[in-house]
């Protein structure tokens, strides 16, 4: 046991070594969701209300994407202690990342006796599982960004660990209600778990009936009350209605879209008669879309080569898992399948298939954040595969040789990954540093001019302005003006005080200048050459990022 904890401590320091270099600076700048989480937590801390002046909201409107309250309220104590800073906004995700390593290690420890008889092999399995999470690309990146999904994952693993221990240990028999608490917290933290948690609960009732019904009635009653309370709060707090709106922007199963596809197929196959309706109908179309998305999610390229399409989630095209993990995962799956009748293995398979289903319900199946509940299972399988290979070595020499080769591959892979992540990926276009530069420039000029104008309101530049200036929430409520909801239910900001966010119409802009001078803060590409040469604009300065690239230009028009 002492050796187990010494190894665990070593992995803890390794995790810090991977995550702490330039923490808060890489990724450069907050993305807009991070900024929104931070400012709404700041506003609630200062006033008890969010940016929409809603008192202690459970569904946080933000840009219209209806954020859940878990991360925001977890963040408030850190803002109270350290202020509204980039690194502070990311602290809950960092802490969740460290917790995930230990929680997965505890889950591996619980399952180790099912795979290995020797204590040494059990310890190696625990260490390998924790080690793989500590160095995984997804785990490092998620720990550096304010991801609601990462905090929710820690809650989910905590609940799963308690359930696994409660089903086999007398001392934990009466702690199942803690699983209900933790899993309820996931429901209040990230939307993916609105799919995964019901699937897991249903699966436990079907596949682990003996454990569920062997639980004391008062414990089951406590779990039911906790879940009922949370569901009621979600309904009253607007989370269900928010989910409905959110899903309309990301779901491939909406009636209009499905019927358009059915109509297209039927129009092209009119000669088939009745068979046409059998082949092409809404249920068949929805099932096809779901299965297509499910199969797409299994792409090896997504996991091991390039990651998803969103550069915020996979900067520089960095994959979610190290390529060396692939053969070990396959070995782990084979071993798991060999003993598939074991209850714990059924639960693990249920976790894997449930997590894979989440992005299949959306229009972007290869979505790193929505698929995040799956990644710990792959790291666990990697650890299992690595340990099984070790047990197959018959002599000490083979074991040492295997260990040296494995460590060499890991060090080489980590060297490439850390260089790519800390250096190469940060020079790409995913940096949000430019919005912080924009916010600082807005604050610099807004006090000396009647109006400051910048473009791209759909990118929500206002939120970086609020964070960077720590804008007084009470002043915001009286000075903010928003555009109407767009087709995807997003609400973009038009004005905050004398700062305007709009898509420029140059003729109308020059008409406004007749009333008062204006400062324009535009990206270089947003100012046409004929406008630059018209003599109507006076150049003030260029806003350059850490690499010397001009991100914005400041012009005065009068």
Quick: pLDDT tens for 128-154. Answer: 999 999 999 999 999 999 999 999 999
Model confidence at 368: pLDDT above 60: yes
Query: Which pLDDT value is given to residue 315?
Result: 86
Each residue of 233-263: b (16+ CB within 10 Å) or e?
A: ebeebbbeebbebbbebbebeeeeebeebbe
pLDDT digits over 216-239, tens only? 778 778 888 888 888 888 888 777
Q: How confident is the model at residue 350 (pLDDT cuts 50, 70, 90)?
A: very high
In the chain, % of residues over pLDDT 70: 94
pLDDT at 521: 93
Please give the pLDDT value at position 5: 80
Q: Which pLDDT belongs to residue 171?
A: 60
In order of 116, 122, 321, 325, the CA distances from 387 in angstroms are 9, 9, 18, 12
β-pairing, 493-496 with 537-544? Answer: unpaired
Bridge-based pairing state of the strands 499-501 and 537-544:
unpaired
- Residue 545, classed as helix, strand or coil, is coil
**What confidence category does residue 427 fall into, taking pLDDT thresholds of 50, 70 and 90?**
low
Residue 436 confidence (pLDDT) above 60: yes
pLDDT at 244 over 70: no
Mean pLDDT of the chain: 88
Residue among 103, 115, 225 nearest 159 (CA): 103
Whether pLDDT at 477 is above 90: yes
**Which letter, b or e, does each residue of 532-552 get, where b requires 16 or more Cβ atoms within 10 Å of its Cβ?**
eeeeebeeeeebebeeeeebb
Q: Which of 11-15, 265-269, 460-464, 517-521 has the lowest mean pLDDT?
A: 265-269
Average of per-residue pLDDT across 276-290? 79
User: Would you list the DSSP string of 347-365?
Assistant: HHHHHHHHHHHHHHTSS-S
Q: Which strands sit side by side in the sheet containing 518-522, from one edge to the other?
A: 480-482, 493-496, 499-501, 451-454, 518-522, 550-557, 537-544
**Cα–Cα distance measured from residue 309 to residue 366, given in angstroms and rounded to the nearest whole number:** 8
Task: Indicate yes or no: pTM above 0.85.
Answer: yes
Closest CA to 138 of 313, 323, 397: 313
CA dihedral 274, 278, 280, 285 (to 10 degrees): 160
Work out the average pLDDT over 258-263. Answer: 76
Residue 357, pLDDT > 70, answer yes
Question: Is the pLDDT confidence value at 429 over 60?
Answer: no
pLDDT of residue 474: 95
Asked if the model's pLDDT at residue 371 lies above 80, the reply is yes
What's the pLDDT tens digit per position in 319-342? 999 999 999 999 999 999 988 888
Q: What are phi and psi of 533, to 5 degrees?
A: -90, 0
The rounded distance, in Å, linking the Cα atoms of 311 and 90 is 18
- In this prediction, residue 355 has a pLDDT band, given cuts at 50, 70 and 90, of very high
């Amino acid at each position: 046991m002492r050796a187990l904890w010494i190894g665990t401590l070593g992995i803890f320091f390794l995790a810090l070594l991977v995550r702490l270099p330039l923490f808060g600076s890489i990724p450069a700048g907050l993305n807009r969701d991070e900024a929104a989480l931070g400012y709404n937590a700041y506003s609630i801390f200062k006033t008890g209300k969010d940016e929409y002046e809603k008192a202690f909201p459970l569904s946080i409107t933000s840009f219209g994407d209806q954020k859940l309250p878990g991360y925001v309220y977890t963040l408030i104590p850190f803002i109270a202690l350290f202020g509204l800073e980039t690194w502070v906004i990311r602290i809950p995700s960092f802490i969740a990342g460290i917790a995930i390593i230990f929680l997965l290690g505890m889950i591996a420890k619980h399952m180790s006796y099912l795979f290995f008889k020797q204590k040494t092999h059990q310890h190696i399995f625990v260490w390998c599982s924790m080690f793989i999470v500590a160095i995984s690309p997804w785990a490092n990146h998620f720990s550096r960004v304010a991801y609601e999904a990462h905090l929710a994952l820690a809650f989910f693993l905590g609940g799963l660990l308690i359930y696994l221990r409660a089903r086999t240990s007398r001392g934990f028999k009466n702690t199942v209600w803690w699983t209900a608490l933790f899993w309820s917290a996931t429901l209040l933290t990230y939307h993916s778990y609105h799919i995964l948690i019901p699937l897991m609960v249903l699966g436990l009732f079907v596949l682990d009936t003996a454990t569920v019904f062997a639980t004391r009635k008062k414990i089951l009653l406590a779990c039911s009350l906790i879940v009922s309370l949370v569901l009621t709060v979600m309904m009253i707090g607007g989370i269900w209605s928010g989910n409905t709106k959110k899903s309309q922007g990301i779901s491939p199963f909406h009636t209009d879209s499905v019927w358009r596809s059915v109509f297209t197929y039927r129009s092209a196959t009119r000669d088939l008669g009745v068979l046409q309706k059998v082949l092409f109908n809404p249920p068949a179309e929805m099932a096809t879309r779901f299965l297509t998305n499910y199969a797409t999610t299994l792409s090896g390229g997504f996991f091991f080569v390039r990651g998803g399409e969103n550069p915020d989630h996979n900067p520089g095209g960095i994959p979610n898992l190290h390529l060396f993990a692939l053969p070990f995962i396959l070995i782990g799956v084979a071993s798991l399948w060999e003993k598939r009748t074991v209850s714990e293995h059924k639960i693990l398979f249920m976790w894997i298939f449930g997590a894979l289903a989440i992005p299949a319900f959306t229009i972007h199946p290869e979505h790193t954040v929505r698929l995040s509940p799956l990644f710990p299972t792959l790291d666990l399988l990697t650890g299992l595969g690595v340990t099984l290979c070790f047990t197959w070595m018959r002599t000490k020499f083979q074991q040492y040789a295997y260990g040296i080769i494995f460590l060499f591959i890991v060090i080489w892979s980590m060297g490439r990954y850390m260089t790519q992540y800390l250096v190469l990926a940060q020079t790409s276009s995913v940096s949000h540093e430019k919005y912080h530069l924009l916010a600082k420039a807005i604050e610099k000029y807004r006090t000396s001019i009647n109006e400051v104008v910048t473009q791209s309101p759909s990118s929500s530049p206002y939120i970086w302005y609020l964070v960077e200036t720590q804008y007084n929430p009470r002043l915001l409520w009286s000075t903010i003006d928003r555009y109407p909801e767009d087709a995807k239910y997003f609400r973009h900001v038009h004005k905050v005080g004398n700062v305007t966010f709009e898509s420029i119409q140059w003729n109308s802009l020059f008409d406004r200048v007749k009333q008062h001078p204006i400062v324009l803060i535009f990206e270089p590409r947003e100012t046409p050459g004929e406008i630059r040469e018209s003599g109507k604009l006076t150049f003030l300065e260029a806003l350059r990022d850490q690499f010397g690239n001009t991100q914005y230009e400041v012009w005065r028009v009068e």
